[in-house]
Amino acid sequence: MYREPIFLKPVFQERIWGGEKLKQEYNYDIPSKHTGEAWVISAHPNGPNVIENGFLAGKTLAEAWNSHGELFNKKQEDYPLLVKVLDANDNLSVQVHPDDTFAREVEKQPYGKTECWYVLSAEPDAELVLGHHAKTQEELEKMMDHEEWDQLLNKVKVKAGDFFYVPSGTIHAIGEGIVILEIQQSSDITYRVYDYDRTDADGNKRELHLERSKQVATVPHQQIKLARDVQQSDGLKITTLVQEEYFSVFHWQLNGKAEQEMTTDFLQISVIEGKAELTTNESTVHVEKGEHFILPYGMGSYRLSGEAEMIVSHS
Ligand code: ZN
């Protein structure tokens, strides 16, 4: 059994709303001043990660999933999740994603997109859009047609450490000055509802998808309450952020030493603060802020030591 963490090379995506914080805060080797996203755990064809270490070095995560399913206790066709770090130097478009059924029937794509966000940093007064105020489908369509965005959209102030669960069908937008870690279904289908009438360098507005948005938006908006369960053992405090259909996400606060045992098919770990050592029976690796890796199915027990914050997720 392979018992090493799998490290991946991020893929960067330039966006009109992107900035330079992925370099400033995480020291990533970004391609430009408008880098919006680092896809840090991705088997998606639009941004496939290459494995950096071990016997699979040089292969993509998708290739590893297909040829070495035992590393993930593989139970489905595709690697199910996608992890990104997003730098919103400007507002992202207001958008909505379809569910699996709509993605398959209408887009001929395998998955819809349910996502969640852990806020890594936020400037004072930063806010995002989560949900809307329309009571009925008719009211939603009327407010969209009349561009009554201020009345329609529900805005939420955010700070570092906040967490949001965003099921498919939720109208949403990440706002200026926010850096988030996003964990989502491995899907790239977005319907743009409103883009602040922005234009690109050539003076063109980005395309909107109003009909599709109206078809997939959840009306009225449903706010799912998340209970934050906390468990402390040794030097590790584990806070459950969400446990829902597509993924479970936890915040791990490591202060000192902890022994852990793999109980899931695989584990995605994003180090968001500090440094730690991860030791198996065979080796010790050092991990630090900005690194993301996967623990394979055969990890068994392993030890952590250090001072670090991690966002840990699995399907
Ligand atoms: Zn989204």
| Distance, CA of 22 to CA of 12 (rounded, Å) | 10
The number of beta carbons lying within 10 Å of the beta carbon of residue 252 is 21
Residue showing tokens 């770090």: 85
Distance from Cα 299 to the centre of ligand 1, integer Å? 32
C-alpha 243 – ligand 1 centre gap (Å): 19
* pLDDT in the model for residue 206: 87
Task: Give the Å distance between the CA of 2 and the centre of ligand 1.
Answer: 34
CA of residue 39 to ligand 1 center, whole Å: 14
| Average pLDDT of the residues in 310-315 | 98
pLDDT at 185: 97
**Cα–Cα distance between 125 and 178 in angstroms, integer?**
10
Q: What is the pLDDT of residues 138-168, one digit of tens each?
A: 999 999 999 999 999 999 999 999 999 999 9
Determine the pLDDT at residue 305.
Answer: 98
Q: Is 192 a catalytic residue?
A: yes
pLDDT at position 126: 97
CA 149 centroid distance within chain: 26
Per annotation, catalytic residue among 15, 104, 192, 303: 192
10 Å CB burial of residue 86 (0-12, 13-18, 19+) is: buried
- Give the model confidence (pLDDT) of 67-80 as tens digits: 999 999 999 999 99
CA-based nearest residue to 83, from 164, 174, 6, 182: 182
- Residue 13's pLDDT is 97
For range 258-283, the mean pLDDT:
95
Compute, in angstroms, the gap from residue 108 CA to the centroid of ligand 1: 19
The pLDDT of residue 241: 97
CB 257 within 8 A of CB 284: no
Q: What is the pLDDT of residue 12?
A: 98
What pLDDT does 105 receive? 97
CA pair distance 203, 206, nearest whole angstrom: 10
pLDDT at res. 287: 98
Tens digit of pLDDT for each residue in 21-55? 999 999 999 999 999 999 999 999 999 999 999 99
Spatial distance between the Cα atoms of 22 and 13, rounded to a whole number of angstroms: 11
Residue 224 confidence (pLDDT): 86
The pLDDT value given to residue 298: 86
Q: Could you report the per-residue pLDDT of 189-236, keeping only the tens digit for each?
A: 999 999 998 887 888 998 999 999 999 999 999 988 888 899 999 899
Task: Say how many Å lie between the CA of residue 304 and the centre of ligand 1.
Answer: 33
pLDDT of 153 reads 98
Confidence (pLDDT) at 239:
98
* Average pLDDT over the chain, rounded to an integer: 96
Reported as a single tens digit per residue, the pLDDT across 80-132 is 999 999 999 999 999 999 999 999 999 999 999 999 999 999 999 999 999 99
Provide the 3-class DSSP secondary structure of residue 165: strand
- How far lies 84's CA from each of 43, 44, 64, 120, in Å? 12, 12, 19, 12
Q: What are phi and psi of 195, to 5 degrees?
A: -125, 25
State the pLDDT at residue 259.
96
Q: Please tell me the distance between residue 306's alpha carbon and the centre of ligand 1 in angstroms.
A: 33
Tell me what pLDDT residue 281 has.
Answer: 81
Model-wide pTM > 0.85:
yes
